[in-house]
Amino acid sequence: MNALRHFLLALQFFTRVPVTGRLAAWVGYSPDMLRASSAHFPGIGWVVGAVGAGVLAAALALLPADPLGALVAALLATAATVWLTGAFHEDGLADTADGLGGGTSRERALEIMKDSRIGSYGAIALVLGLGLQVALLALLAQQGAMRGAAALLAAHVLSRLGPLVVMRRLPYVADPAHAKAKPIADAVPAGALPVAVLWSLPAAALLAWMFGSAGLAAALVGWMAALAYMLRLLGRRLQGFTGDTLGATQQLGMLGLLLGLALGLP
C-alpha cells in the first residue's frame, strides 16, 4: 500500500495528472515519502511514455505514410509528453546548459541555475535536444508504428533510471532554499534503485522484442554513455548534482538511448 502511495506522489509531482481531493489526502505527503517515491521514476515513465506512444501511433495511422508524416507524428508525440510533464525535465536541461555553459566557476554555475530566465546556452540546448529527439523518433517510426511506439515508451522508462544513479553516486550541492525538487534531490533511499530496476526490466524486454538483442544492446550502450558523461561532467564541474541536472540527465539519457537504437538499425 505504501508503494502505491509513493507512486501516486511521484505521479502528482512529475506530471499534470490530477491527484487531488480525497485521493491526495489518502496519499499524504512528507519529505521522506517524496524521497521514497524516487523508486518509481521509471514507473512515471510508463505513464508519460504510454501517452506519447499512443499519440505517435494514432498520428502515424492518420497521416501520410512518408517521412514527413513520420516527422509530424514524432513532433505531436513529443509535444504531448512535454505537456504532460509540464516540461519539467526540459527546464532542467536548459538551466543546466545555462549554468555549465555560462558559469566559469562552480559557484557561478550554481548561481546561474537559480535564475528562472533562459539564456543562450539553455535555448540552444532545448532546440538541439528536442530537435534531435523528434528526428530520431521520426526515423524509428519509419520502421513501423509498433517499433516507433515501443522505442518512445521504453526511452521514457529507461531514461528515468539515470537520475537515480546520479543521486546515489554524487552529493547534493544546490542551495535548499532555491531547489525546485528539494525533498527528493538531496537523498535517495538505499532500496530505491532495485525497485526502479524492476520497473525498467519490462521496457528492456520490449526493446529486445521489437529490435532484437542487438538493438537492445545498442540502446543500452547509448544510454550508459550519456549517463557516464553526466556523472563525469557533474563530478568535475559541480562536485555534485542539483535538481536541474537530474532533468538534464534524463533528457540526455533519452537521447542516448534513441540514438543507440537508430545506429543499431540494420
143-201: pLDDT as tens digits:
999 999 999 999 999 999 999 999 999 999 976 655 554 455 567 888 899 999 999 99
Average pLDDT over residues 117-140: 97
Using one digit for the tens of pLDDT, what is the confidence trace for 55-91?
Answer: 999 999 999 999 999 999 999 999 999 999 999 999 9
What's the domain count of the chain? 1
Q: What is the pLDDT at residue 110?
A: 93
Q: What is the pLDDT at residue 183?
A: 54
Residue 108 neighbours by CB under 8 Å, 6+ apart: 102
Q: Which of 129, 105, 137 is nearest to 239 (CA)?
A: 105
The amino acid sitting at 36 is A
Neighbours of 131 (CB within 10 A): 12
Q: What are phi and psi of 99, to 5 degrees?
A: -65, -50
Using one digit for the tens of pLDDT, what is the confidence trace for 28-64?
Answer: 888 888 888 999 999 999 999 999 999 999 999 999 9
Average pLDDT over residues 253-263: 98
Task: Find cell 540546448 and name the residue.
Answer: 125
Alpha-carbon distance 224 to 230, whole Å? 10
Q: What is the pLDDT at residue 182?
A: 47
Joined together, the cell numbers standing for residue 108 give: 557561478
Q: Which of 35, 94, 78, 37 is nearest to 254 (CA)?
A: 78
Alpha-carbon distance 166 to 149, whole Å? 27
**Are 224 and 259 a contacting pair, CB within 8 Å?**
no
How many residues does the structure list for the chain? 266
Angle (CA) 77-81-82 rounded to 5° is 115
Joined together, the cell numbers standing for residue 88 give: 519539467
Predicted structure pTM score: 0.94
**Are 88 and 41 a contacting pair, CB within 8 Å?**
no
Q: What is the pLDDT at residue 177?
A: 59
Q: What is the pLDDT at residue 35?
A: 85
| pLDDT-wise least confident of 85-99, 121-135, 187-201 | 187-201
Domain residues for the domain of 52 are 2-263
Checking phi first, is residue 212 left (phi over 0); if not, alpha (psi -120 to 50) or beta?
left
